[in-house]
Structure 1
Amino acid sequence: MEFAFTHYNYNVLNLEKSMAFYEAALGLKEVRRKEATDGSWKLVYLGDDKTDFELELTWLRDRKEPYNLGENEIHLAFLTDDFEAAHAKHKDMGCICFENPEMGIYFIVDPDGYWLEILPPRK
Structure 2
Amino acid sequence: MKAKMIHCCIHVLDLDASLAFYERALGLTVQRRMGPEDGSWENVFVGNGETDFQVELTWNRGRTEPYVNGGRDTHLAFEVDDIDAARALHEEMGCVCFVNERMGIYFIEDPDGCWLEILPADRAE
Question: TM-score, normalized by length of structure 1?
Answer: 0.95
Q: Does residue 112 of structure 1 match 2:106? A: no
Aligned-partner Cα distance in 1 for 2:30–2:52:
13
Partner of 1:95 in structure 2? 95
Encode CA deviations 1:21-55: one digit per residue, 9 max, x unaligned. Answer: 00000000000010112111000000112111000
Q: What's the C-alpha RMSD, in Å, of the aligned pairs?
A: 1.3
Partner of 1:59 in structure 2? 59
Aligned-partner Cα distance in 1 for 2:79–2:106:
11
Aligned-partner Cα distance in 2 for 1:35–1:118:
31
**Number of corresponding residues:** 123
Q: Does residue 13 of structure 1 match 2:16? A: no
- Aligned AA for 1:91? E
**Structure 1: runs of 5 or more not aligned:** none
Aligned-partner Cα distance in 2 for 1:69–1:79:
20
- Aligned AA for 1:68? V
Quickly say closer, same or farther: Cα 1:8–1:70, change in 2 above 3 A: closer
Identity level (%): 54
Question: TM-score, normalized by length of structure 2?
Answer: 0.93
Please say if residues 47 and 54 of structure 2, whose CA atoms lie closer than 8 Å, have aligned partners that are also in contact: yes
Shift of 1:62: 2.1
Aligned-partner Cα distance in 2 for 1:102–1:112:
27
Encode CA deviations 1:89-122: one digit per residue, 9 max, x unaligned. Answer: 1001100000000010000000000000000113
Q: Does residue 43 of structure 1 match 2:51? A: no
Quickly say closer, same or farther: Cα 1:105–1:3, change in 2 above 3 A: same
Quickly say closer, same or farther: Cα 1:71–1:48, change in 2 above 3 A: closer
Shift of 1:4: 0.4
**Structure 2: runs of 5 or more not aligned:** none
